[in-house]
Amino acid sequence: MMETNGKDIIGMVHLKALPTAPNHALDLDVIYKAALADLKALEAGGITCAIVENMFDTPYTHEPALDTLISMTVLLTQLKAQTKMTLGLNIQATDGVEEMLVASYAGADFIRAESFVETRLTGGGVIRPMAPALMREKKRLQSPVRVLADINVKHSNPLIEQSIDDLIHEAIASGADGIILTGLATGNAPTVNDAKHFKTVCGSIPLYIGSGVNADNVADLLTYADGTIVGSSIKREGKVDLPVDAARVRQLIKAVLD
């Protein structure tokens, strides 16, 4: 990934609701143009890496429709053709195999695996460990796509309580290329102490902060983390459902560089 002051800053491109989602209302071309505008705003603000995500396909299903997967493949391929930015993919919510397929064929550089080695309870039901099927699919495809793995991901609860340290070690042993630490929900940041502890356990494996990062806390969190994923705070008015604001992006980057 491209670095800013030695740190990876990853912006979010939140796709409008896709076909089959309850809130779907826009043609795919309109969704693409909105996503491209967000991508260009990230670029204008100084971010060189982004994750494309079906954020507004709520409530999420653990068996995404074929329409969703095809739509994301088309959109990611189109976006990839319009930028030199490093692009990642997150599909809410899958067992990881679909993410690896879409990312590999559309030319993405990495995916976000939200339940890589855990069994977790969400509003859409139980999500099971992605690693076994996901890493076999990666091997089958001979794919270079990297895997960033969440530990104790937001908007979910563990079905079985497990040691955070053990989960991090298991994720790394299962092939994760990076570990993601989040707060309890979108827009909520983890603590600096959590970041410090996670990084101690991660060792040489990169640690990313996956929620709640803004211009006020980014420097403190990046004291220990190797990078961050940022979405809500760089949108207009700091609202997740509004477009990316290039001025807010620049403010965040300035806080990283100062």
pLDDT in the model for residue 1? 60
- Tokens 């995916």 map to which residue? 111
Cα separation, 193 vs 221, whole angstroms:
9
Give the tokens for residue 18. 């896709």
Domain that holds residue 45: 3-257
Closest CA to 218 of 1, 5, 51, 2: 5
Cα separation, 177 vs 45, whole angstroms:
27
How many angstroms from the chain centroid is the CA of residue 84?
Answer: 18
| Residue count of the chain | 258
In three-state secondary structure terms, 82 is coil
Report whether 149 contacts 181 (CB < 8 A): no
Give the tokens for residue 64. 């995404």
Report whether 186 contacts 231 (CB < 8 A): yes
pLDDT in the model for residue 184? 55
Tens digit of pLDDT at every position of the chain (258 positions): 656 768 999 999 999 999 999 999 999 999 999 999 999 999 999 999 999 999 999 998 888 899 999 999 999 999 999 999 999 999 988 778 999 999 999 999 999 998 899 988 877 778 889 999 999 999 999 999 999 999 987 677 877 888 999 999 999 999 999 999 986 555 567 899 999 999 999 999 999 999 899 999 999 999 999 999 999 999 999 999 999 999 999 999 999 998
Report whether 48 contacts 256 (CB < 8 A): no
Q: What is the pTM of this model?
A: 0.93
Closest CA to 114 of 139, 89, 136, 137: 89
- State which amino acid sits at residue 139: K
In 82-213, where does DSSP find H-type helix? 97-106, 131-141, 164-173, 192-202
pLDDT in the model for residue 93? 80
Cα separation, 98 vs 95, whole angstroms:
7
pLDDT in the model for residue 61? 87
Number of domains present in the structure of the chain: 1
CATH number at residue 24: 3.20.20.70
- Tokens 């937001």 map to which residue? 154
Lateral strand order in the sheet of 120-122: 125-127, 120-122, 157-158
